[in-house]
Structure 1
């Protein structure tokens, strides 16, 4: 675990310098240390920041460890850098490991039990009420749209309210993929117009699992799409392994930050395994 933390600190420090970030001269804790502690919490303590801070202080990982309240304020102030770090780290991963194709899928993130949905303070609107077709059940929370590579690296992320349709994630994701890439999706992303536009404008081929009565149903293509999408199950299982039974947060922004922490913890664990 400490090796993953060291890899995360070194890479984040370099990426922040690349982005032009400069710490306040009066700050005792650099931004790279704050983000590394955030990843440590997601990696080993189910997202519990206080436990990660205690562990880092006991192990002497860094010269100065902030208090939990100060750490929370610093982390929220750095939130706008996090998507940029994911984009830059994706470039690093593609240089270290060959990528053949990409997979897009969604993962439900409940913020509370269904019975508590009417009085949920974290996400009070009905737009957060989502449905999981595979389980034939409802959930109240967010929907995590993931684009990952065939070697389990999460390259793009989008968080939407639970009621958002899967196909809308296809429209809203940047899909910054190499020319000629193949993107594997399931039935929820069926949209012929989007499929044609991606092929014409970006050169991205959408391989979708289609219904039997689909106009573009092709049996050999269905087999390739089904096999190609199986890797997303491994990514989902790896993320779920890091999740606690219930992600605790007092605000929706805090909940989102913890989800981002689990994503970075997964990615840096993948990086540490090949370095």
Structure 2
């Protein structure tokens, strides 16, 4: 399909599910009706995330310039009103994501992968003077870049064959082992993690909940490491790195333009919803689930 068809398809999926999400309840109890419908705003956010338009200013300008015939209300709408309406719909995006996950998409609930990705909110040198997320963000270690950063960590559960099913945003100083029982609440089956999840006490606790958390030995060069290392499980576990790469490269998830948790939460949810819809469309067409570039010819 071309980009026009992709926009129409996304709008139809969202608009069809909106009555089920709101359950015939009014989202606004007072005030005039918005010039853009909620389905139109969410569609624009999803398409913008797919195209890599991470800033709200850029996203609004792109659709106002190229697609006023699809969204005629944009011509009479100010950018700040659009941004405010989009941010207020964060809970609707979360419900859409959960509804797609639970009712429209087929995945293996008994095999999942857990990991976390750092989300810095500013440069490390500016962190002592940064007023954004004061009291909410914290310092943590980015093991991939081998440096300390200031911000958050996004903890995620990826169910096979590559669907994000649960996420949890925590300060950067919260360890993976402290968040994983919260992240896996309601989950059963086998869960794969990296060396940060080699925590015998946590693994024993999760086993009582029906969860088998498999992780390689914490010390890679220890004589005990070979007994817990599996090349097959390692290749499966690396799938979550591909997903984090998509969120980082396509959606620029590590570039935090938001100044508060309200807007940051909305930005993360629209990225996750975009990825879930793309996964759903690929599954409908029996195409490779994680090849999102093929959706637009």
> Please, what TM-score do these two structures have when normalized by structure 2?
0.79
Deviations 1:100-142 (A, max 9, x none): 6211110001111111101112123485111123332111111
Aligned to 1:79: 90
Q: Is the 8 A contact 1:7 1:268 kept in 2?
A: no
Aligned to 1:187: 195
Equivalent position SS for 2:121: strand
Structure 2 unaligned segments of length 5 or more: list them. 285-297
Among 261, 267, 275, the residue aligned to 2:276: 267
Structure 1's 270 and 93: CA in aligned 2 closer, same or farther, altered over 3 A?
same
Among 135, 144, 155, the residue aligned to 2:154: 144
Aligned to 1:103: 113
Cα displacement (A) at 1:89: 1.6
Give the alignment of 1:115-154 within 5 angstroms.
115-125=125-135, 128-154=138-164
With 154-163 and 85-94 compared, the bigger mean Cα shift is at 85-94
Give the alignment of 1:165-180 within 5 angstroms.
165-177=175-187, 179=188
With 68-77 and 4-13 compared, the bigger mean Cα shift is at 4-13
Aligned to 1:68: 79
Distance in 1 (alpha carbons) for counterparts of 2:52 and 2:13: 21
Q: Is the 8 A contact 1:117 1:124 kept in 2?
A: no
Aligned to 2:170: 160
Equivalent position SS for 1:123: coil
Distance in 1 (alpha carbons) for counterparts of 2:231 and 2:4: 41
Structure 1 unaligned segments of length 5 or more: list them. none
Cα displacement (A) at 1:48: 2.0
Equivalent position SS for 1:112: coil
Structure 1's 141 and 229: CA in aligned 2 closer, same or farther, altered over 3 A?
same
Q: Is the 8 A contact 2:50 2:251 kept in 1?
A: no
Aligned to 2:257: 248
With 245-254 and 235-244 compared, the bigger mean Cα shift is at 245-254
Deviations 1:18-42 (A, max 9, x none): 1225354723322222222222222
Q: Is the 8 A contact 2:120 2:150 kept in 1?
A: yes
Q: How many residues align?
A: 271
Structure 1's 33 and 127: CA in aligned 2 closer, same or farther, altered over 3 A?
closer
Equivalent position SS for 1:233: helix
Q: Is the 8 A contact 1:40 1:265 kept in 2?
A: yes
Q: Is the 8 A contact 2:122 2:150 kept in 1?
A: yes
Among 228, 238, 246, the residue aligned to 2:236: 228
Distance in 1 (alpha carbons) for counterparts of 2:202 and 2:16: 37
> Please, what TM-score do these two structures have when normalized by structure 1?
0.85
Q: Is the 8 A contact 1:42 1:48 kept in 2?
A: no
Distance in 1 (alpha carbons) for counterparts of 2:165 and 2:26: 25
Aligned to 1:47: 54
Over the aligned positions, Cα root-mean-square deviation in angstroms equals 2.9
Confirm whether residue 30 of structure 1 aligns to residue 37 of structure 2. Answer: yes
Equivalent position SS for 2:277: helix
Q: Is the 8 A contact 1:199 1:205 kept in 2?
A: yes
Distance in 2 (alpha carbons) for counterparts of 1:253 and 1:87: 19
